């Protein structure tokens, strides 16, 4: 898989390779951080748009500390000494959490690290900076009119969208500015940019990773997870974030892997490039001995009900943002429009949505009992250009809806989902999503790792 993705930048890092180099003395954490900082600072690169703030001095100090510990034969985790970024909505002690917005630029500094950030620090991760994002995480396209929009690594001359809302996280990983970008996912904000930028990403079951210290979008849907170059990298960071001591994945041979292909709108109306890559991936898995069973899943055709008027996210976002109602004119107008959708959602509508979600979870839970995971394309499209997606409000919201069409299913189901690249070398990035039910996270990661291995060997 590294060969396939490196057709864009040739510089992406993996936990396995770097931890091996550190253990063998072939590199140091300080050297990795200096490389990361140099890539961020490249005048012709996307560092200035991918990052809201760079922590050069503290990153160097933390890297030196990691190197001293390693000389004393103290290694805190598999990710010890590796550079990472954190999405701008996470608290970093002593710094202002802007969440991609000008409105919070004058907020008081955070008194402490978010739980996710603290766990990463304890594992020895070196934070090189805060990554850019869609304002308040409310958007799938990846644009930010306040701080700029980092360009997708694919077809950079054309200037394609990175996907959102964890836009800077995806671009920073794809361009080798760090090993992992810490992101959040409410309706696909980890998986969409990962898929469109040609990397991997993982959305855990929402309650599995603490959201304390992360600026919220939806109390119901928000999830905290990694964007990285491979599923194995995502799994290493997921274990740290979830506070699980065992970061290993169980072996799941491809032969006999039980995979559901849900016959529904989730596999229809695909861009030509997406359909080609998805069908090729399914064929490769079948040849490897995976059992792929297609079943009709009408629950996946009812997204209009699940997300009507913005659903949970809109009503909860309005509750969060109403304190700044007098400043909505300072928001990205397209974000403000989505936030204000929640103002008129009635209590009875919210109750009905809760009941609908519970029924859907039961239905899919029963359907998934004999399967290891279900497979769908992460996004039904490849990345449009920034100009195309931003040409008008109508164009923006059309692209926003299309990009997030499939990913929101996992959030509504309170499930978990990994995305991994499934395109051929040199083609437009296409993501394959491997999804499971609530709290099946490590099983789904293991299945995704197997799928990744099969696809890596097909060329």
Residues acting as catalytic residues: 87, 165, 189
CA gap 5, 148 in Å, rounded: 25
8 Å CB contact between 42 and 54: no
Q: Cis omega before residue 165 (within 30°)?
A: yes
CA gap 233, 372 in Å, rounded: 21
CA gap 58, 456 in Å, rounded: 37
8 Å CB contact between 222 and 116: no
8 Å CB contact between 106 and 118: no
Helix (H), strand (E) at residue 238:
helix 231-242
Distance from CA of residue 173 to its chain's centroid? 11
Instruction: Give the three-class secondary structure for 419.
Output: strand
Instruction: Give the three-class secondary structure for 441.
Output: helix
8 Å CB contact between 139 and 400: yes
């Amino acid at each position: 898989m590294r060969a396939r993705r490196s057709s864009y930048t040739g510089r992406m890092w993996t936990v396995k390779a770097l931890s091996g180099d550190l253990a063998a003395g072939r590199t140091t954490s300080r050297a990795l951080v200096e490389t990361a900082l140099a890539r961020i600072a490249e005048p012709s690169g996307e560092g200035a748009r991918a990052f809201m703030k760079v922590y050069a001095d503290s990153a160097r100090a933390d890297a030196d500390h990691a190197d001293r510990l390693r000389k004393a034969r103290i290694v805190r985790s598999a990710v010890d000494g590796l550079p990472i970024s954190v999405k701008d909505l996470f608290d970093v002690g002593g710094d202002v959490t802007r969440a991609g917005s000008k409105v919070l630029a004058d907020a008081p500094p955070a008194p402490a690290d978010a739980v996710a950030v603290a766990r990463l620090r304890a594992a020895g991760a070196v934070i090189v900076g805060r990554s850019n994002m869609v304002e308040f995480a409310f958007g799938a396209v990846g644009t930010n009119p306040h701080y700029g929009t980092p360009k997708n690594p694919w077809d950079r001359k054309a200037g394609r969208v990175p996907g959102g809302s964890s836009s800077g996280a995806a671009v920073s990983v794809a361009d080798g500015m760090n090993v992992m970008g810490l992101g959040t996912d409410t309706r696909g904000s980890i998986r969409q940019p990962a898929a469109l930028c040609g990397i991997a990403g993982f959305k855990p079951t929402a309650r599995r990773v603490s959201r304390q210290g992360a600026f919220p979008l939806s109390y119901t849907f928000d999830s905290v997870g990694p964007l990285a170059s491979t599923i194995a990298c995502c799994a290493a960071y997921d274990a740290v974030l979830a506070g699980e001591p065992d970061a290993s994945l169980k072996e799941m041979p491809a032969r006999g892997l039980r995979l559901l292909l849900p016959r529904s709108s989730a596999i229809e109306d695909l861009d030509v490039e997406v359909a080609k890559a998805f069908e090729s991936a399914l064929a490769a898995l079948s040849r490897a001995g995976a059992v792929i069973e297609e079943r009709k899943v009408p629950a996946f055709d009812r997204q209009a009900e699940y997300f009507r008027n913005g659903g949970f996210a809109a009503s909860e976002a309005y509750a969060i943002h109403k304190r700044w109602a007098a400043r909505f004119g300072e928001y990205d107008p397209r974000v403000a429009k989505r936030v204000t959708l929640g103002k008129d959602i009635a209590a009875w509508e919210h109750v009905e949505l809760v009941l609908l979600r519970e029924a859907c979870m039961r239905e899919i839970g029963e359907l998934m009992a004999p399967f290891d995971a279900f497979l769908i394309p992460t996004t039904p499209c490849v990345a449009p250009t920034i100009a195309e997606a931003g040409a008008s409000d109508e164009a923006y919201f059309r692209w926003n809806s299309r990009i997030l069409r499939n990913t929101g299913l996992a959030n509504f189901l309170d499930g978990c989902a990994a995305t991994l690249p499934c395109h051929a070398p040199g083609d437009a990035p296409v993501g394959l999503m491997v999804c499971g039910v609530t709290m099946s996270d490590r099983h789904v990661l293991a299945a995704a790792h197997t799928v990744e291995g099969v696809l890596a060997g097909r060329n």
